[in-house]
Amino acid sequence: MFDKVLIANRGEIALRIQRACKELGIATVAVHSTADADAMHVRLADESVCIGSPPASDSYLNIPRLLAACEITGADAVHPGYGFLSENARFAEILEEHSITFIGPTSEHIRIMGDKITAKETAKALGIPVVPGSDGEVATEAQAMKVAKEMGFPVLIKATAGGGGRGMKVAHSAADLGLAFSTARAEAKAAFGNDSVYIEKYLQKPRHIEIQVFGDGKGNAVHLGERDCSLQRRHQKILEESPSPALNAESRKKIGEIVANAMKKIKYRGAGTVEFLFEDGEFYFIEMNTRLQVEHPVTEAVTDIDLVLEQIRVASGGNLGFRQEDVKFSGHAIECRINAENPRTFRPSPGQITYWHPPGGLGVRVDSGVYQGYRIPPFYDSLIGKLIVHGKNRNECLMRLRRALSEFVIDGIETTIPLFNELVRQPDITNGLYDIHWLEKYLGKS
Ligand code: ADP
């Protein structure tokens, strides 16, 4: 087991990782930018190192500075969390070259899945159903038109290097295609420094259902059920739940087995998420994330497995601690992402939290890195906490969620709590009848 883990992240996830390390008796190192000197993850770590100024490129994304922090503190492993360098294959490689363990999959798996075209080809070869689309990159508008006409409109132009819903544009007809193609490329170039795009059939009313997988890198792998993340705004998840109200036991088992077998074949190590769109009873692979997800607590609630602790265990050479038949699913869990944003316009609302009262009670978990008096810096994403509620069934979970949301008080800044208070009372949500477009339509109407 490791002696000291450096956590190359900030906010709630840095604290989440610290908690797992502490339970395992591992010392923790926090790194932070000058904007985060007062952050909770810094205060609670055993050691901390300031690695630069607020822009992420000067701190959380700066590999030489992170390496220097490892060297100064003698950390023998790095947990990247999500975002920042968590899916940067070069970072994983550089750490290994310095005999520091990257707590995550191999750099090869990160690389394969980080390029969406290679990821789709790999998934297909492993027997995973994929969204119909172009065979690889589409380089010119003429080529795009040919593929789109063959496939039929609407189509979606997507960035090969994509992430966070950027570099993605819909073309409803031939007349839209030119503009969609050029804007997707320009957005991809600006966001990822790579303007390569491909085309997919645009599904009209799918749900986003993802399968949590876990492997030990030695050919043992399991699935830990699904999460339904269909409640989205601008392709960004807002609320996640498990199990999905749209799946039955048979479809759940079938897709779970397909994905777990694929992970066994490639000897996948650590936590991963295989994302699908689900429409008319069919699954279509869209991408794989080779890291811990924001919404991982939903799976932890229904499986009672600590995913971060398991990540650390297998990264240090341990075997998978459970077989598929040992994984038992119990009850229902829902997570709400609490963002420091206006609940209607979604304009970020950084500033000082003057009052902070999180909910509690049976089945309620709050993962957050903030506290009363804390000043949210304007430089990073606006997620300030996650409310995760578990109940014996979906109905109990919703009752508990309504109660927990009504207890949650955050003053001084705007948050998305009022929006969740509305959503958990909408019949379509309480009945589980929503697809990936539901929230945008709701926001447009209200
Ligand atoms: P990113 O990596 O940028 O998050 P994804 O490929 O994971 O991109 O897709 C994000 C979201 O975009 C999906 O959850 C879904 O809402 C929408 N989306 C992606 N591909 C399609 C598609 N082929 N048809 C319809 N919606 C899609």
Distance from Cα 158 to the centre of ligand 1, integer Å: 8
Is residue 277 within 8 Å of residue 286, measured between CB atoms? yes
Is residue 267 within 8 Å of residue 312, measured between CB atoms? no
Tens of pLDDT along 285-330?
999 999 999 999 999 999 999 999 999 999 999 999 899 999 999 9
Determine, yes or no, domain membership for 153: yes
- The two tokens of residue 67 are 């390496």
- Closest CA to ligand 1's atom 22: 202
The CATH number of the domain holding residue 172 is: 3.30.1490.20
Mode of pairing for the β-strands spanning 4-7 and 77-79: parallel
Together in a domain, 169 and 273? no
The CATH number of the domain holding residue 376 is: 3.30.470.20
SS (H, E, C) 55-103: CHHHCCCCHHHHHHHHHHHCCCEEECCCCCCCCCHHHHHHHHHCCCEEC
Whole domain around residue 25: which residue ranges?
4-88
Look at residue 423 in the predicted model and tell me its pLDDT. 98
Distance from Cα 370 to the centre of ligand 1, integer Å: 30
Query: CB-based contacts of 261: which residues, under 8 Å, 6+ apart?
Result: 126, 127
C-alpha–C-alpha distance, residues 417 and 402, integer Å: 11
Determine, yes or no, domain membership for 275: yes
In the predicted model, is pLDDT for residue 165 greater than 90?
A: no
Which of 179, 201, 223 is a domain's end point?
201
Q: Chain-centre distance of CA 96, in angstroms?
A: 24
Is residue 140 within 8 Å of residue 156, measured between CB atoms? no
| pLDDT tier for residue 142 given thresholds of 50, 70 and 90 | very high
By C-alpha distance, which of 439, 417, 415 is closest to 426? Answer: 439
Which residues are registered as beta bridge partners of 278?
A: 207, 283
Look at residue 321 in the predicted model and tell me its pLDDT. 87
- Closest CA to ligand 1's atom 19: 286
C-alpha–C-alpha distance, residues 377 and 145, integer Å: 44
Pinpoint the alpha helices (H) of 362-426: 394-407, 417-423
- Closest CA to ligand 1's atom 15: 235
Distance from Cα 235 to the centre of ligand 1, integer Å: 6
Is residue 402 within 8 Å of residue 425, measured between CB atoms? yes
C-alpha–C-alpha distance, residues 164 and 293, integer Å: 12
By C-alpha distance, which of 51, 93, 92, 90 is closest to 71? Answer: 51
- The two tokens of residue 353 are 């939290």
Together in a domain, 17 and 156? no
Together in a domain, 297 and 369? yes
C-alpha–C-alpha distance, residues 378 and 340, integer Å: 10
C-alpha–C-alpha distance, residues 410 and 31, integer Å: 27
Which of 147, 177, 201 is a domain's end point?
201
| Domain count along the chain | 3
Query: What's this model's pTM, rounded to 2 decimal places?
Result: 0.96
- Closest CA to ligand 1's atom 23: 202
Together in a domain, 180 and 320? no
Is residue 404 within 8 Å of residue 361, measured between CB atoms? yes
Together in a domain, 292 and 363? yes
Which H or E element spans position 261? helix 249-266
- The two tokens of residue 343 are 């609940």
The phi, psi pair for 303, rounded to 5°, reads -105, -15
- Closest CA to ligand 1's atom 17: 235
Peptide bond into 358 cis (omega under 30): no
For the chain, the 3-state helix, strand and coil shares in percent, each to the nearest 5, are 35, 30, 35
Closest ligand 1 atom number to CA of residue 204: 25
Q: Which of 207, 291, 365, 394 is catalytic?
A: 291
Look at residue 254 in the predicted model and tell me its pLDDT. 95
Distance from Cα 286 to the centre of ligand 1, integer Å: 7
C-alpha–C-alpha distance, residues 218 and 235, integer Å: 34
- The two tokens of residue 398 are 């919703």
Tens of pLDDT along 54-107?
999 999 999 999 999 999 999 999 999 999 999 999 999 999 999 999 999 999
Strands (E), 305-416: 332-339, 351-352, 355-357, 364-368, 375-376, 383-391, 409-411
Determine, yes or no, domain membership for 122: no
Mean pLDDT, residues 108-130 taken together: 97
Query: CB-based contacts of 77: which residues, under 8 Å, 6+ apart?
Result: 2, 4, 5, 6, 100, 101, 102, 103, 312, 315, 316
The phi, psi pair for 160, rounded to 5°, reads -60, -40
CA 408, 409, 412, 417 dihedral sign is positive
Tens of pLDDT along 185-242?
999 999 999 999 999 999 999 999 999 999 999 999 999 999 999 999 999 999 999 9
Amino acid present at 4: K
- State yes or no: is 291 an active-site residue: yes
| pLDDT tier for residue 380 given thresholds of 50, 70 and 90 | very high
Together in a domain, 18 and 82? yes
Distance from Cα 211 to the centre of ligand 1, integer Å: 15
Determine, yes or no, domain membership for 390: yes
pLDDT, averaged across the chain: 97
Together in a domain, 180 and 265? no
Determine, yes or no, domain membership for 159: yes
Residues with CB under 6 A from ligand 1: 131, 156, 162-165, 200-203, 206, 208, 232, 235, 275, 277, 286-287, 436
